[in-house]
Structure 1
């Protein structure tokens, strides 16, 4: 059995009491944390732990309360940036363009971006030093949803919105929006503009711009408003902030769930019963 499969009850004697870990993580006071444990609301590595004497290894064990992941590793930092246009999604651009270094220089950790936004696209970008989480959030196979608002040329019709949801054919294959809706349209059909909200889980390059161009409405401005459970909110362009405890919990819960799904998918199928064995 691996360390991560070890429950709090089986952890080494030099582990840390579970209620102390929860209190240090900011979940609740130690007394309230004890109540959460007794009520069966705390899990360690997927197993409910109700014994107050339980000890865990915070550096390896995974803890959640009411199904929401708890961040135990205080060395990990999670930052939301509202990336301006004109900035490339790189920590060091070899062509000398404006990059992300100025947004990370005040943090003692070495942060890197999760995924990318085009230089001419603004909006929500996650910066972190958590490589495992970054892998899950950025890899296309996990299908984390993103919400974009595009200002496009021309007046978008209901028929066009329906077409975006049905799917369009691009040079690298078909693509359909998970959701699409018209937020606003103003001006004449020719020369006017529209605001369109698109929800996608695809990580293909410049996908929103290519989709809108395919339906005859080139993108004039584009912003990413949401990434998974995170919302940009009122964060000004060019500003960053650390994620709240609630946001970190939502993000870690998503990452752990998708990582577990990947592990289950990669697991070999159970062996078929041998001839003559009981079934």
Structure 2
């Protein structure tokens, strides 16, 4: 079982470089960073986590800039998005960003993706919320073409480009893993078709985790890795997740100043 944290790195919390260094010094395996390009003033879309949207959602760093900073001061730490809102990102630019991070980190990049929840945010990027799942699929498939083909091309409903040269290619062969978030009725369809692993939020549709993981791997015909987000820092919960067949747990790290963050990490490290 691997242990990591998922968090929001912002302009009023610990910086990404000291955070990455602190995680590696304490034996953590991974840093997963959240993303929001912006938050529309309109609060039309309800936040799934409750009534009031926390301050950290408004203030996130760009995840690839932050992960690059963390990668340059670490040697073993996985640097990952959790999640990148790729329905709001140009796939050609994103392919270069992820491949560049994979080079800077010497093969430690992971791309966790999802379709997002904030409909106003999507619309500001020209994305129709009603078709975001189809768009998500095409952008992941386009990324893999750009990463693995010398002359990559893609022709879909939403993504369409003739042969292009796109470099650098990732360090990892064939490419950094793409982990799909979610736990809805069609999530496994997407993971099996174009994902490299499943990354649900603990407690949101994961009540039957052993059977879900077994079903996913049976459908895929291979042992797809499973990472659990927002896992309570309790040994009995971690043991339950490990027994279910998951590979990695991510503890939710509050966005706090450096001193407070280091104390929180010390407590987590003592437990695990």
TM-score range, shorter chain: under 0.3
Hey, which of these two has a bigger chunk of strand by percent? 1
Q: Which has the higher helix share?
A: 2
TM-score by length of 1: 0.23
Bigger radius of gyration among the two: 1
* TM-score, L = length of structure 2: 0.23
